Amino acid sequence: MTHFIFVTGGVVSSLGKGISAASVAALLEARGLSVTMVKMDPYINVDPGTMSPFQHGEVFVTEDGAETDLDLGYYERFLRRAKMTKLNNFTSGRVYQDVLNKERRGDYLGGTVQVIPHITDNIKERVLRAGEGYDVAIVEIGGTVGDIESLPFMESVRQLMVELGHKRSMLMHLTLLPYISSAAELKTKPTQHSVKELLSIGIQPDILICRTEHDVDADTTRKIALFTNVEARAVVVCKDAKTIYQIPRNFYEQNVDDLICERFGYNDLPKADLSDWDQVCEALFNPEYTVRVAMVGKYVELPDAYKSVNEALLHAGIQNRVKVQIDYVDAQALESEDIAILDTADAILVPGGFGERGTEGKMAAIRYAREKGIPFLGICLGMQLAVIEYARHVAQMPEASSTEFNRATKYPLIGLITEWLDERGELQQRNLESDLGGTMRLGAQKSELVAGTKTREIYGKAEITERHRHRYEMNDRFIEPLEKAGMRVSGYSSVQHLVETVEIPAHPWFIAVQFHPEFTSSPRDGHPLFASFIDAAKKQNQKGK
């Protein structure tokens, strides 16, 4: 029987609902419970897959190929035993699309389709289905209380809490305690008004998470409890931390897990062992020295666009006991600026992306890393551009390109798989999965690593599973000339035998991959590819000294 914790936010957005929810999940998992998490997004887009990173930040990809909110990345990084799926994130757009499709099919037998009960019932069904098989499901509602677009979700939560009952559901509300410097005091009124807004739609919070930059005394806590009808012990102070990975310990010290377990009747569980989180924080706060990684992309104005890559580099730094300083380099600006801005980099990374803008700048950075012997990691588009750069400047194919950028190119190294198989009359001979061709290759897929390669050595096994999010592939017609010129294909997809990884054996550390290894990195376990990359950066840093 699944128990549900609903998580809402008030006062302002970006307070950290996702991180707070994930920290509670980590705490409950440390008590031995099986936990899953759900994110309900109020926007009308069906999913974030077509949204600009400038608008929404990173699109996180689950193992089963769902394009989801970046909060699901936090969920997976904080949990060890649960992996997110397409059930764990849905939007207003997805709900309305589903209900309207049913209406068009006649499923409602000509009845008037309304927000209540049709939309709310669809939301409730999705929440209950996502929670099946787990002890606890933590359900986060995007936006803040009072937003017009989130009202159907709030109503669905109200109904679910009535239907599930007191022993199977509770609500955690995140608010802001602003500090007014002229008055030299914390103000509780925003929290009071936020809870009042919740009460107006029929929801009473059980736990308050109060975000603040300052210490909160017992009198303030009692005042908040009195005016919000929440137990004083359930008013939890979440003071700004040096790292988000301190939050599970913070909540543990305020007995948040005990409060939840008591409510749900989990009375005989062992105490939470947070030693692994303590080790993460200890390594993070005590690095031996700093390495600089130049990340060359086109969304560098918004670091959230590369959230999982940033976190994977942080995790690799933890494993190597170094601080990773990320220097964001605008790929488009690099096309006209002096490449010498990369001189201070101990390593260079080109992440994924879509479209032609900035690709020449990225290839300039790749060439710089290749020629200077600087450790280089290319991801997705970064791999494709590494192949093109090598073909142009080493393998005597100056016109090499992608058909995405130049359909008339003499050397179409990168293209839609249907383009280059059809060109050779092999379209019906290759074992193509239904999601290939002109559409995206999404989700976890297996790759076979070639014996004797650095990539195989790093992973320590012959077969790996990594997540993909891309449309274009490397044309296998060009494998032979590239390998003759010194680049080696070190991995192929297990089903279609498509190129997955390449490396340059003569280079100290030059690896590029078609998949997204950042999606499976975590603070406690890291990721072998990123760990090896930062280890190479550490050696480069020491060599420079």
CA-based nearest residue to 177, from 39, 15, 381: 15
Model confidence over 257-279: pLDDT tens digits? 999 999 999 999 999 999 999 99
Between these two residues, 488 and 438, which has the higher pLDDT value?
A: 488
**Backbone φ, ψ for residue 408 (5° rounding):** -90, 5
DSSP 475-513: -GGGHHHHHHTT-EEEEEETTT--EEEEE-TTSSSEEEE
H/E element, 47: none
Give residue-wise pLDDT tens across range 121-177.
Answer: 999 999 999 999 999 999 999 999 989 999 999 999 999 999 999 999 999 999 999
Which position among 311, 380, 404, 503 bears the catalytic label? 380
The answer on 46 and 169 residing in a single domain is: yes
Which 8-state DSSP code applies to residue 43? Answer: S
Domain identity same for 304 and 239: no
Residue 480 annotated among the catalytic residues of the structure = no
What's the rounded mean pLDDT across residues 9-18?
Answer: 89
Residue 219 shares a structural domain with residue 350: no
Q: 212 and 66 in one domain?
A: yes
pLDDT number for residue 434: 42
**Containing H/E element for 243?**
none
Q: Do 221 and 322 belong to one domain? A: no
Check 315, 468, 507, 516 and give the catalytic one: 516
CA distances from 99 to 67, 103, 106, 227, 440 (A): 21, 6, 11, 40, 26
Write down which residue in 261, 289, 310 finishes a domain. Answer: 261
Same domain, residue pair 194 and 322: no
Any idea what the CATH number is for the domain that residue 406 is in?
A: 3.40.50.880
For 315, the token pair is 């995790």
How many separate domains does the chain show?
2
Q: 181 and 80, same structural domain?
A: yes
Convert the pLDDT of each residue in 283-319 to its tens digit. 999 999 999 999 999 887 777 889 999 999 999 999 9
Supply the mean pLDDT for the chain.
92
Task: Show Cβ contacts of residue 497 under 8 Å, excluding neighbours closer than 6 positions.
Answer: 430, 476
**Residue that finishes a domain, picked among 218, 234, 261:** 261
pLDDT value of position 115: 95
- Is 238 known to be catalytic? no
Say how far apart CA 397 and CA 424 lie, in whole Å: 20
For residue 289, what are its two tokens?
Answer: 């020295």
Q: Is residue 275 part of a domain?
A: no
| CA 381 to chain CA mean position, Å | 18
Note the pLDDT tens digit of each residue in 367-383.
999 999 999 999 999 99
Residue 208 and residue 112 in one domain: yes
Stretch 328-355: mean pLDDT: 91
- Check pLDDT > 80 for residue 420: no
Of 209, 226, 261, the residue that ends a domain is 261
Set 63, 140, 389, 518: catalytic member: 518
Is 360 a catalytic site residue?
A: no
- CATH number of the CATH domain containing 50: 3.40.50.300
Considering the domain boundaries, does residue 271 fall inside one? no
Q: Kindly state whether residues 182 and 294 are assigned to the same domain.
A: no
What b/e string do you get for 36-55 counting C-beta neighbours within 10 Å, with b at 16 or more? bbbbbbbbeebbbeeeebee
Residue 267 lies in a domain: no
**Beta carbons of 503 and 487 less than 8 angstroms apart:** yes
Q: How far apart are the C-alpha atoms of 122 and 91, rounded to whole Å? A: 11
215 shares a domain with 246: yes
User: Is 356 domain-assigned?
Assistant: yes
Task: Please answer whether residues 170 and 203 qualify as being in contact, where contact means their C-beta atoms are separated by less than 8 angstroms.
Answer: no
pTM higher than 0.85: yes
In a shared domain, residues 298 and 226: no
What range defines the domain where residue 28 resides? 3-261
Q: What is the pLDDT of residues 205-239, one digit of tens each?
A: 999 999 999 899 999 999 999 999 999 999 999 99
The per-residue pLDDT for range 108-119, each reduced to its tens digit, is 999 999 999 999
Instruction: Kindly state the tokens that stand for 405.
Output: 């950028």
274 inside domain: no
Distance in angstroms (rounded) separating the CA atoms of residues 89 and 46: 11
Co-location of 296 and 215 in the same domain: no
pLDDT band at 53 (very low <50, low <70, confident <90, very high): confident
Q: What would the pLDDT profile of 499-536 be if each residue is shown by its tens digit?
A: 999 999 999 999 999 999 999 999 999 999 999 999 99
pLDDT higher than 60, residue 428: no
Q: How high is the pLDDT of residue 336?
A: 85
